[in-house]
């Protein structure tokens, strides 16, 4: 990596795919950009590296981009968000025994969240989210509140990096978690968790990952221009499958079959709850409006 490379951070998540695909397929290079991907273990790492300049940009959850810009955690560092990478894609996963009990109760009458609320209310049970300033935290709190469960009163919400959710669930430190794909599917494949809801059931096509960029440098301005004007990321999904090069690396650190199932509703229909909406995760496509952050999205996340 040269000193002029644009350092872009991503986590091991399915909706990092637009950035990873653009890098692997040479679309950044086509625009004269030298990009070096940095696989980060947690959102805290991403935020710290953006704040201190170890990263120039990152695929990031919108609330954390706002928090970094306002100095709500660590040094204040203004970020530009020129581009939205994905809509939806989070899932609520419970320990298998709890999920089975909740589903059995829901079948007898009522909704899944009401059945879960009846078992959690006042217990102080621990559920995990991936960061305090995350879409996952907002969505889980909102969803539980619709059934009368108040976080911090009835239950405890703890922070667990996505890659550690399986270990935490298996050890019994948490009873469930809200995280992005493919971690719910990985927990199910390991036989320790069951996904009972998706973010689509909380807010259909909710904004999920955005590109957060440190301003003021020529190379990052070029990155913003290339992504917004050239639509680099969507080109990866418009490329004919037979012409896509096969990368020797698995950036997500998960089986390719797992990532493939969780990236598209057509690949995993029926693997979630019966009430699952028709689309789990949407990548950037003009007809979905996935590319453009809007004021109303930010207002919802800010509690307005």
In tens, the pLDDT along 67-76 reads 999 999 999 9
Question: Does domain 6-87+206-266+273-301 match CATH 3.30.360.10?
Answer: no
Residue 23's pLDDT is 87
CA 128 to chain centre: 14
d(CA 262, CA 274): 16
Residue 301 and residue 138 in contact, taking contact as beta carbons nearer than 8 Å: yes
**197-217: per-residue pLDDT in tens?**
998 888 888 889 999 999 876
**pLDDT of residue 110 exceeding 80:** yes
Residue 220's pLDDT band (cuts 50, 70, 90): confident
Residue 254 and residue 20 in contact, taking contact as beta carbons nearer than 8 Å: no
The CATH H-level (homologous superfamily) assignment of domain 90-201 is Periplasmic binding protein-like II (3.40.190.10)
Cis peptide preceding 182, ω within 30 of 0: yes
Mean pLDDT computed over 5-25 = 88
**pLDDT of residue 15 exceeding 60:** yes
Residue 21's pLDDT band (cuts 50, 70, 90): confident
Mean pLDDT computed over 91-105 = 96
**In the chain, ranges of CATH 3.40.190.10 domains:** 6-87+206-266+273-301, 90-201
Structure tokens at 191: 């036989």
200/51: higher pLDDT: 51
Residue 225's pLDDT band (cuts 50, 70, 90): low
| CA atoms lying within 13 Å on the CB side of residue 11 | 27
**237-286: per-residue pLDDT in tens?**
554 555 454 443 555 555 544 444 444 433 333 333 333 444 456 655 54
pLDDT > 90 in the chain, percent: 51
Furthest C-alpha separation in the chain: 62
Q: Which of 82-91, 139-148, 259-268, 295-304 has the lowest mean pLDDT?
A: 259-268
**pLDDT of residue 47 exceeding 50:** yes
SS (HEC) of the chain: CCCCCEEEEECCCHHHHHHHHHHHCCHHHHCCCCEEEEECCCHHHHHHHHHHCCCCEEEECHHHHHHHHHCCCCCCCCCEEEEECCEECEEEEEEHHHHHHHHHHHHCCCCHHHHHHHHHCCCCCEEEECCCCCHHHHHHHHHHHCCCCCECCCEEEEECCHHHHHHHHHHCCCCEEEEECCHHHHHHHCCCEEEEEEHHHCCCCCECCEEEECCCCHHHHHHHHHHHHHCHHHHHHHCCHHHCCCCCCCCCCCCHHHHHHHHCHHHHCCCCCCCCCCCCEECCCHHHCCCCCCHHHHHHHCCC
Structure tokens at 303: 């509690």
Residue 136's pLDDT band (cuts 50, 70, 90): very high
Residue 27's pLDDT is 81
Residue 237's pLDDT is 52
């Amino acid at each position: 990596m040269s000193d002029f490379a644009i350092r872009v951070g991503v986590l091991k998540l399915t909706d990092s795919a637009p950035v990873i695909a653009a890098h692997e397929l040479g679309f950044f290079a086509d625009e004269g950009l030298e990009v070096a991907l940095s696989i980060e273990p947690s959102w805290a790492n991403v935020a710290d590296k953006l704040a201190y300049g170890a990263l120039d940009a990152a695929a990031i959850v919108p609330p954390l981009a706002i928090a970094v810009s306002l100095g709500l955690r660590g040094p204040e560092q203004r970020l530009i968000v020129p581009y939205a990478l994905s809509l939806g894609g989070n899932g609520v996963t419970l320990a298998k025994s709890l999920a089975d009990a909740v589903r059995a109760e829901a079948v007898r009458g009522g909704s899944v969240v009401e059945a879960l609320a009846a078992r959690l209310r006042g217990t102080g049970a621990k559920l995990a989210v991936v960061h305090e300033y995350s879409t996952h935290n907002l969505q889980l709190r909102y969803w539980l509140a619709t059934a009368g469960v108040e976080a911090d009163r009835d239950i405890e919400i703890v922070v667990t990096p996505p890659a550690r959710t399986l270990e935490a669930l298996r050890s019994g430190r948490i009873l469930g978690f809200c995280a992005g794909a493919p971690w719910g599917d990985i927990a199910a494949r390991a036989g320790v968790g069951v996904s009972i809801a998706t973010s689509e059931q909380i807010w259909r096509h909710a904004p999920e990952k955005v590109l957060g960029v440190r301003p003021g440098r020529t190379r990052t301005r070029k990155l913003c221009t290339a992504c917004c004007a050239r639509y680099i990321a969507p080109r990866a999904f418009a490329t004919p499958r037979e012409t896509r090069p096969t990368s020797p690396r698995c950036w997500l650190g998960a089986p390719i079959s797992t990532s493939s199932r969780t990236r598209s509703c057509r690949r995993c229909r029926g693997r979630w709850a019966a009430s699952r909406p028709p689309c789990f995760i949407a990548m950037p496509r003009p007809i979905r409006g996935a590319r453009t952050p809007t004021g109303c999205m930010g207002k919802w996340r800010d509690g307005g």
